Structure 1
């Protein structure tokens, strides 16, 4: 999903988190400035449905305006599919849920902290 809050706000002539906060308060939604800045600054991990409803009311938009679905495809999967199609085979879908991979960019912790 792509979070389009800044684009939707810009279409309503809102350019700063403090202006967005004022628009929120006009409809009775009063998050903290830090929460508003977090929504403004990037892709939130979670958004409560009640909050999403109030954001849409403040910006006079729909959920579809705020969140756009983006297809998720990797280069490896597409090349495997092309090879299978060239050979006349139908690529089989992966079985089971997609799980995130753990990060390996830092030292591994062997014992929990005291």
Structure 2
């Protein structure tokens, strides 16, 4: 989302956070100057709906004037990005499992260490 508070305020000839605070107080919205400065300087993480209504009332605008949807680019994984199975070497693949050892010719096992 794009936050257009400064644009909406400029339409009402408000150019500083202190002027915006005065406009808010006219409609009964009393945030701190630091909160207004934070909203003025960057996009807020969250805004309460009650606060959004008061901002719109103070600036004589709508939510559409304050918030603008921006398309998000979705990256789809290609075949090269997908995880491969153990032992798979290329597009044709390889042995998916290791091959077992061939038994010795005499059939005897060695003894464990002492």
Q: Which has the higher helix share?
A: 1
SS of aligned partner of 1:25: helix
1:15 is aligned to 15
For 1:15-94, list aligned pairs within 5 A.
Answer: 15-74=15-74, 76-77=75-76
Query: Which stretches in structure 2 are left out of the alignment for 5+ residues?
Result: 79-114
Aligned residues: 78
Q: Which has the larger radius of gyration?
A: 2
| Normalised TM-score (structure 1) | 0.65
Query: Displacement, 1:24?
Result: 0.1
| Normalised TM-score (structure 2) | 0.65
2-structure distance, mates of 1:42, 1:4: 10
Give the RMSD, CA atoms, in angstroms.
Answer: 1.4
Q: Return structure 1 stretches of 4+ with deviation > 6 angstroms.
A: none
1:88 is aligned to none
Query: Displacement, 1:11?
Result: 1.0
2-structure distance, mates of 1:42, 1:7: 13
